[in-house]
């Protein structure tokens, strides 16, 4: 896992590359090439995971010296791919050397054979083309700018350093207030874009033109077919086999691998299987929160899981003041606003893990592919309960109390007839009426880029499966995995996600909804599979995750701090957001008339990003 940076006709040095030193503290290298009338600069920061020798150093040429690659990620099946390259005399055993030679032999289209996580740039010297590519699930970020120049990087900061100009993307701000994140390819910046999950872009040096070559996911998602012919027992056996293979693949490393361990099912499953492939006791890590209720905090359950699984366990407890103190740093790391308070939690637990290991296994993806969230159950029952939904919408004032905010969101979405609009509305943080009041002059009516992925999905698939697929290739990629990658890499830790192994996900996509949600039990088939691996005490615990007591902190401990941050003469967010509406919202929290913590997290996130921009991302 590393950091990459490249530019055309815009040479950079160590000062720009070192802005992503945290992604690769072990080594760095810059290569400059003159091709025709163009100057190409490729830079790489290395976190040594596979092949710790100089043979793994990047930028790296293929054996013919026609292709030059900078690569961030891990290809778990690279040894299998290497078997197809018997004519190549390899210098080492890194996955980078495998894939640059694999593409050299089979073409850029062969990238769909890579089972792993990656963001890469490949220069074809002969054809004078630079390819940019991102993995299917968007685990690894990759940004680019084409505005009188072409620059690309694992993170935004080096691009802003090289170009030294930016313009806020007002359409992007509208997306944040709707979805709490910005779907690829959009970002907060008008001229900076994200490569979409599964996308391969082609930049022609002679023509100075950028085009989308293909998207792996168009074929991958388009070929999803639900298999209703198989029994529950069949799927349990199949999942057991495929998940063990996935975890075993992701243990591939020349350094020690640890695991995040909450008190829940997903991380315990990973940890249990990973322990079989670990040389000693696997190290596990969890986080807790001061003032959290038993329903929010699972540090005790995590300790119990560690005891049952026999791990070497570490944890840390965070208090409200630490939250505010570290919030700016966490958002500096994240680079893009979001409405998820877990960003800070992920950073702090990664910081703890970094003192012990270089690679961490995480459970992201399980809730999306196995329908772990309540919204999937609500969608499966929509037709049945549509008459009640219509009645409830007629008597909305009865549900105006803050404690009903999740029900209010559900009614807002489920009452929508158009399937795509309904799936989009379920993410809503601020409703359309709320956005009009908050955003005023910059309010936009727009269609989000979720539509592109939605259109990949076969029309015959039912709406709950469509929601699951849409989550997996959009929200998961651009919010959860985005902050997961950046917070771990900020501490020089590589995060791997076994639930998003290509072969495993292909299997899960075939499983009918009634095996994912059964008798009101979400992730039913995964739990049944886990019965062969874990004690029921872990499998059937209520879900918590890294739940922070944010709402309590925003209503009590931190309310004055938030008012000062968002509603003072120094607040930058008031350039875009109505100051009076901000004050009303904060007072609603103080009076306990607002129970959706995401709204304040999102506003704080945008404010901190604007402040960091003013300082050119210097803390």
Burial class (CB in 10 A: 0-12, 13-18, 19+), 339: buried
Q: How far apart are CA 173 and CA 435, in angstroms?
A: 11
Q: How far apart are CA 619 and CA 614, in angstroms?
A: 11
pLDDT at residue 67 above 90? yes
Q: Give the pLDDT band of residue 490 (cuts 50, 70, 90).
A: very high
Report the 10 Å Cβ neighbour count for 254. 15
pLDDT at residue 152 above 70? yes
pTM of model > 0.85: yes
Q: CA 600 → CA 382, 507, 551, 553, distances in Å?
A: 30, 39, 9, 11
- Whole-number average pLDDT of the chain: 91
Q: Strand order of the sheet with strand 199-204?
A: 60-61, 67-75, 116-124, 129-134, 199-204, 209-215
- Alpha carbon dihedral 588, 590, 591, 596, in 10-degree steps, equals 50
Q: What are the domain boundaries of the chain?
A: 2-221, 223-370+485-533
Q: What is the pLDDT of residue 167?
A: 85
Task: Name the more confident of 490 and 341.
Answer: 490
Of 258, 268, 280, which Cα lies nearest the Cα of 304? Answer: 268
Q: How far apart are CA 266 and CA 152, in angstroms?
A: 34
Q: What is the pLDDT of residue 254?
A: 82
Q: How far apart are CA 6 and CA 30, in angstroms?
A: 9
Quote helix, strand, coil % in the chain, to nearest 5. 45, 15, 35
Report the 10 Å Cβ neighbour count for 139. 27
358 DSSP assignment:
S
Q: Which residues pair with 29 in a beta bridge?
A: 44
Q: What is the pLDDT of residue 291?
A: 76
Class of domain 2-221: alpha beta
Q: What is the pLDDT of residues 233-276, one digit of tens each?
A: 999 999 999 999 999 999 988 889 999 999 899 999 999 999 99
Q: How far apart are CA 33 and CA 601, in angstroms?
A: 44
pLDDT at residue 577 above 70? yes
Residues in Cβ contact with 174 at an 8 Å cutoff, skipping those fewer than 6 apart:
435, 439, 442, 443, 444, 446
Q: What is the pLDDT of residues 417-459, one digit of tens each?
A: 899 999 888 888 888 888 999 998 888 877 788 999 999 999 9
Burial class (CB in 10 A: 0-12, 13-18, 19+), 148: exposed
Report the 10 Å Cβ neighbour count for 506. 13
Mean pLDDT within 545-571? 83
Q: What is the pLDDT of residues 3-18, one digit of tens each?
A: 999 999 999 999 999 9
Q: Which CATH number fits domain 223-370+485-533: 3.50.50.60, 3.40.50.300, 3.30.70.100, 3.40.50.620?
A: 3.40.50.620
CB 305 within 8 A of CB 299: no
Tokens standing for 480?
């959860």
Of 607, 616, 143, which Cα lies nearest the Cα of 339? Answer: 607
Q: CA 431 → CA 277, 405, 426, 439, 461, distances in Å?
A: 48, 12, 10, 12, 28
Label residues 493-503 b or e (16+ Cβ within 10 Å = b). bbbbbbbbbbe
Q: Give the pLDDT band of residue 358 (cuts 50, 70, 90).
A: very high
Distance of CA 407 to the CA centre of its chain: 26
Residues in Cβ contact with 581 at an 8 Å cutoff, skipping those fewer than 6 apart:
437, 438
Q: How far apart are CA 422 and CA 414, in angstroms?
A: 6
Please list the alpha-helical segments (H only) found in 542-578.
550-555, 559-566
Question: What count of Cα atoms within 13 Å lies in the side-chain half-sphere of residue 223?
Answer: 8
């Amino acid at each position: 896992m590393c950091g990459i940076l490249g530019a055309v006709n815009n040479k950079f040095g160590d000062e720009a590359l070192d802005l992503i030193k945290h992604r690769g503290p072990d080594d760095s290298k810059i290569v400059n090439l003159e091709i025709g009338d163009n100057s190409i600069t490729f830079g790489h920061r290395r976190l040594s995971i596979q092949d710790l020798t100089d043979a793994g150093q990047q930028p790296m040429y293929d054996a013919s010296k026609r292709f030059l690659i900078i690569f961030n990620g891990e290809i778990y099946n690279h040894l299998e791919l290497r078997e197809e390259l018997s004519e190549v005399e390899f210098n080492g055993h890194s996955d980078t050397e495998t894939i640059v030679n694999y593409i050299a032999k089979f073409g850029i289209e062969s990238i769909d054979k890579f089972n792993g996580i990656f963001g890469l740039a490949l220069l074809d010297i002969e054809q004078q083309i630079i390819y940019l590519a991102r993995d299917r699930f968007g685990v690894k970020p990759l940004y680019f700018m084409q505005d009188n120049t072409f620059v690309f990087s694992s993170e935004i900061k080096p691009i802003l350093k090289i170009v030294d100009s930016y313009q806020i993307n007002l359409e992007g701000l509208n997306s944040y207030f709707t979805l709490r994140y910005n779907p690829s390819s959009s970002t907060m910046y008008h001229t900076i874009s994200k490569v979409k999950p599964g996308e391969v872009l082609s930049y022609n040096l002679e023509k100075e033109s950028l085009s989308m070559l293909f998207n792996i996911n168009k074929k991958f998602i388009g070929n999803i077919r639900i298999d209703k012919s198989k029994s529950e027992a069949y799927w349990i056996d199949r999942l057991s086999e495929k998940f063990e293979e996935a975890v075993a693949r992701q243990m591939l490393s020349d350094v020690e691998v640890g695991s995040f361990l909450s008190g829940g099912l997903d991380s315990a499953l990973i940890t249990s299987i990973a322990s079989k492939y670990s040389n000693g006791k696997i190290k596990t890590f969890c986080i807790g929160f001061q003032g959290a209720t038993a329903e929010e905090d699972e540090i005790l359950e995590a300790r119990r899981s560690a005891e049952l699984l026999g791990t070497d366990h570490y944890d840390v407890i965070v208090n409200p003041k630490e939250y505010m103190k570290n919030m700016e740093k966490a958002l500096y790391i994240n680079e893009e606003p979001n409405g998820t308070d877990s960003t800070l939690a992920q950073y702090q637990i990664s910081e703890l893990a970094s003192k012990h290991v270089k690679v961490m296994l995480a459970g992201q993806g399980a809730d999306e592919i196995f329908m772990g969230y309540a919204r999937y159950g609500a969608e499966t029952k929509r037709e049945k309960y549509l008459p009640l939904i219509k009645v409830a919408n007629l008597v909305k004032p009865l549900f105006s109390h803050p404690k009903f905010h999740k029900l209010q969101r559900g009614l807002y979405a489920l009452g929508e007839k158009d399937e795509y609009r309904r799936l989009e509305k379920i993410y809503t943080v601020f409703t359309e009426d709320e956005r009009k009041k908050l955003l005023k002059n910059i309010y936009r009516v727009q269609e989000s880029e979720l539509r592109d992925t939605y259109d990949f999905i076969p029309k015959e698939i039912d709406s709950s499966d469509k929601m699951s697929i849409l989550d997996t290739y959009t929200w998961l990629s651009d919010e959860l995995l985005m902050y997961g990658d950046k917070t771990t890499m900020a501490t020089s830790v590589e995060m791997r996600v076994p639930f998003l192994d290509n072969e495993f996900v292909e299997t899960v996509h075939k499983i009918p909804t009634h095996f994912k949600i059964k008798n009101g039990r979400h992730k039913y088939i995964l739990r049944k599979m886990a019965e062969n691996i874990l004690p029921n005490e872990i499998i059937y615990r209520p879900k918590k995750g890294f739940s922070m007591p944010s709402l309590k902190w925003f209503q009590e401990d931190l309310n004055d701090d938030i008012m000062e941050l968002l509603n003072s003469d120094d607040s930058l967010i008031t350039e875009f957001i109505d100051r009076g509406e901000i004050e009303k919202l904060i007072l609603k929290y103080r009076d306990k008339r607002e129970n959706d913590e995401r709204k304040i997290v999102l506003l704080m996130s945008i404010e901190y990003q604007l402040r960091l921009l003013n300082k050119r991302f210097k803390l």
